[in-house]
Amino acid sequence: MMLTNYVIKTDVEYDSINHQLTDIYYDGDLKQSRGAIIDIHGGGWFRGNKSKDADSSKRFVDEGYLVVTPAYRITPKAFYPAPLEDMDHLYEWLRQSDLPFDHDHIGAFGSSAGGNMTVELAIKYGIPIASLSGILDIDKWLGEHEAVVAAEGDTSGFNSTASAKINQDGANDPFYKWFVTNYFNGRTDQYEEATPVHRVTDKTGQMYLANSLNEFVPTSGVLDMAKALTDHQIPYQTRMIPGSRHAKGYLDDVWDDMVLFFDRTMK
C-alpha cells in the first residue's frame, strides 16, 4: 500500500477583510489532485476549530483530493450570517487559487453546523456536498418547540472533545434550541431565511445527507431536504444511522459510500 505524501499548509489567509485562515492538505506526489473538498468543522457556531477536522481532511487526501479546512467566525464575536459569508469568501478564493487541483471539481463536506454550511454552498454554487448531522431544520423546529426552555448545559469540553463524544445520549431539545437560537443572537426574524430548504432550486448541487436516528439533531432536517430535492429533481442520497452518535461519530460507517458519492458527482 502506497503511503500518502501529505503536504499540509496551515493558517493560510483566505479572507483579507476579516483575516480568516484555512489549512490546506494535499498529496505532494500528485501533479494535480482530482478536485478539492472544502471540509467545514462543526461546533454549533459557538465552538470548534479547523484542527479538529485534520483527520477527515487527511482521509480525503488519501482518496486523491486536495482539501481546504477553514476557520470561520463564531459566536459571540459574530452571528448569522457571518459564517456563511466566510464560506462565500473561501469558495471564491479557492476558485481563483493556483492550488494544484482540477478547478472544475469542487465539493464540500461538513458535520453539524458545518453540515448546514455545506448545504448552503450546494444551494448557492451548485456543488456536490456531504452533510453529517447538518443543522437543517431551523424555522419549523423552533416553531414546533416553543415550550422548550433553551439550556446550554455543560459545553466546556467542546473545543477539546471530539464531536464523536459530544451529546451521545439521544435527543436533547433544550441544548439544540440553545445553540440554534444562540446563532441568531436573540433575533427571531431570521429563522426562515436561514433555513436552507426554502431556497432549493433546480440548480442546487447533489447532496449526501446523513443523520443518526436518535441523536440531538432532528432527522426532520434530512427528510424535509430530501422532499425539496425531489421536488426539484436534484439527485441525492440519504443515510440514517441507528443509535445516537452525532456527525463524525459515525464517520467510519458512512465513509465508503460517501466517497463513492463524491467519486460520482465530481467526475
Separation of alpha carbons 83 and 134, rounded Å: 15
Alpha helices, DSSP H only, in 111-238? Answer: 113-125, 139-144, 173-183, 220-231
Residues with Cβ within 8 Å of residue 3, at least 6 apart in sequence: none
Choice among 118-122, 167-171, 177-181, 262-266 with the minimum mean pLDDT = 167-171
233, with CB counted inside 10 A (0-12, 13-18, 19+), is: exposed
Question: Looking at the domain covering 6-265, what would its CATH class be?
Answer: alpha beta
Q: How far apart are CA 246 and CA 10, in angstroms?
A: 27
Kindly give the interhelix angle for 82-96 and 113-125, rounded to the nearest 10 degrees: 60
Q: Is the pLDDT of residue 257 over 90?
A: yes
pTM score, two decimals?
0.95
Cis peptide preceding 81, ω within 30 of 0: yes
Tens digit of each residue's pLDDT (9 = 90 or more) over 21-55? 999 999 999 999 999 999 999 999 999 999 999 99
Where in the chain are the domains? Answer: 6-265
Q: Quote the Cα angle for 224-113-230, to 5°.
A: 20
Which pLDDT belongs to residue 261? 98
Provide mean pLDDT across the span 184-193.
96
pLDDT of residue 160: 47
Strand order of the sheet with strand 6-15?
6-15, 20-27, 66-70, 36-40, 106-111, 129-132, 207-212, 236-241
Q: What is the DSSP letter of 134?
A: -
Enter the DSSP assignment of 250: G
Q: How far apart are CA 106 and CA 36, in angstroms?
A: 5
pLDDT in tens, 123-166: 999 999 999 999 999 999 999 999 999 998 766 555 545 555 55
